[in-house]
A and B are shown apart, each in its own frame.
Chain A
């Protein structure tokens, strides 16, 4: 052979040694990093598990259909009565209105940023969205209160709270929707254009349709972000012990405010030997309401997952 191979001869023995030799320093780093990652994971999980556990243990005793279906009307002292129905209704209605306001606006802004926006205006909008993300919730509450004070005078109503919550939700919806829309491959848009479909129909029927699973998840995250807000609701919606289904009039109760109120009432000074008086009733109600709130968020997440799965692109036949 006229080979001009100048590579030094490698015996099978050399090769085996070089392949099986483990660099001790690298192995040590590997073990250390592995341990660090596991510890970090445990540290992150511990508070979560502890939180869920304590809410579950303290809340589950009081959480029954009576609690879910009755309000606090005519309940006082250490009575073994009272529920969170009025607060559940308030939370659902107010958050629902907040979503109704912020989802269309957020989605349209995201569509503008991804499909239409170019140049300075798009950059300015992105910047403003970033600023909005950082608004403290109490400021959003004060803003909504001030806005409605100018329009209708000093009043409290569920819708004012919805506006405050929508203010907090919108940037979250914009950000997550924007990311989801950017994930839609450009090829699908081009395929649609090439069939003679106008841009607006392409956006609605191809882009939004393809991204709908991710958009739902984003909206649910935004709802979860605001459903536990307390401060803006105390300012704008106040509280009540009765059921109020009308978001446009009068005070409403919401779950976070209910928790805060019940906790604030503290221990009931029961008479010695009184059998119809539970000293810790307010705390029990607060914990049960907190558990209810967690369950509602979980339920919404499950619904969102169902929706996502139903609409997700199916890859395999």
Chain B
């Protein structure tokens, strides 16, 4: 079951530098939330705190709470590895494992964790995940070929298949289409619409049309000036944000009058 994500007074640091300040937001289960804002405003940093990937960076630390269904992900007895199994992530650049075939890439979450899986279960999981990522038809005859031989868009869908093969509750996407051409982008956007029925999706994007097309709710991040921390300016239904935002800054940003 997908669950509600709530952050409260979230402050995110790189060493002593505060990159994101005081984010309080609530994300509904089985919806798509888009995060928009200028470069360097902390959208991606914020996204990475939702599955504790931020602390992988040396000096990265977090204050405040991120709760999934009431459980604080930064609580003292929470294992970050377990969090990441519940909250999957797709990165900006497609990053299939170069040493693995297409099928092995999909199974990476299982195999890398040394979990045993029978041949037939593995085949099922590969097919289910690749179908889920809309890639099955294109690769079903070459599952044993290297994943890095696919096109950029296919690689990104392979990465999505790899992420959903772990069966997470939440899927984080960090500008998943920024390295892709419009046709591949369309394929991924269609896929997001499909995945919404099963996963809670949070997507960071620089493309405002994309935010308007795929998301139910949109959050706008901004920073007052370079060196200041980024803040969440407002979050609301996507239609509201794009037609009648409450804040002037949001209006300026989405209409291109920014800076």
Residues of chain A whose beta carbon lies under 8 Å from any beta carbon of chain B: 118, 185, 187-198, 201-202, 205-206, 209-210, 311, 313-317
Contact = CB atoms under 8 A, between A and B. Distances in A.
Among A196, A311, A314: residue with most chain B CB under 10 A: A196
Closest 7 CB pairs of A and B: A317-B149, A196-B85, A313-B98, A317-B145, A194-B89, A195-B109, A187-B95
29 contacts: A187-B93, A188-B98, A189-B56, A191-B97, A193-B56, A193-B84, A194-B91, A194-B163, A195-B108, A195-B112, A195-B163, A195-B166, A196-B83, A196-B85, A196-B86, A196-B113, A196-B166, A197-B108, A197-B112, A197-B113, A201-B112, A201-B113, A313-B98, A313-B99, A314-B148, A315-B98, A317-B142, A317-B145, A317-B149
Contacts of A313: 98-99, 146, 148
A160 B81 CA distance: 45
B177 to A, nearest CB: 17
Contacts of A198: 81, 113
Contact of A317 (B112, B146, B163): B146
A195 B163 CA distance: 6
Interface string B52-84: 010010100000000000000000000001111
B113 A191 contact: no
A55 to B, nearest CB: 39
A315 B96 CA distance: 11
B219 interface: no
B79 to A, nearest CB: 9
B166 A191 contact: no
A196 B84 contact: yes
Contacts of B163: 194-195
A315 B146 contact: yes
B149 A315 contact: yes
Residue with the greatest number of chain B CB neighbours at <10 A, chosen from A185, A195, A209: A195
B114 interface: yes
B30 interface: no
Contacts of A315: 98, 146, 148-149
B99 A209 contact: yes
Contacts of B43: none
Contacts of B88: 194-195
Nearest to A315: B148
B222 to A, nearest CB: 26
Given A195-B84, A195-B166, A315-B98, A205 B112 contact: yes
A187 B91 contact: yes
Contacts of B56: 189-190, 193
Contacts of B96: 191
A194 to B, nearest CB: 4
A206 B97 contact: yes
B112 A206 contact: yes
Contacts of B86: 196
Contacts of B218: none
A127 B163 CA distance: 41
Interface string B206-239: 0000000000000000000000000000000000
Contact of B58 (A118, A197, A209): A118
Most buried by B among A189, A316, A317: A317
B250 interface: no
Contacts of B135: none
B95 to A, nearest CB: 4
B11 interface: no
Contact of B81 (A197, A210, A314): A197
Interface in B116-172: 142, 145-146, 148-150, 159, 162-163, 166
A67 to B, nearest CB: 43
A194 B53 contact: yes
A313 B95 CA distance: 13
Given A191-B91, A195-B84, 5 more contacts: A191-B162, A193-B56, A194-B88, A194-B91, A313-B146
Nearest to B81: A198
B47 to A, nearest CB: 11
B108 A192 contact: yes
A30 B124 CA distance: 63
A209 B114 CA distance: 15
B200 interface: no
Contacts of A118: 58
A190 B112 contact: no
A188 B97 CA distance: 7
Nearest to B168: A196
Contacts of A201: 112-114
Contacts of A197: 81, 108-109, 112-113
A317 B82 CA distance: 34
A195 B106 CA distance: 11
Nearest to A198: B81
A201 B83 CA distance: 16
A210 B89 contact: no
A51 B119 CA distance: 56
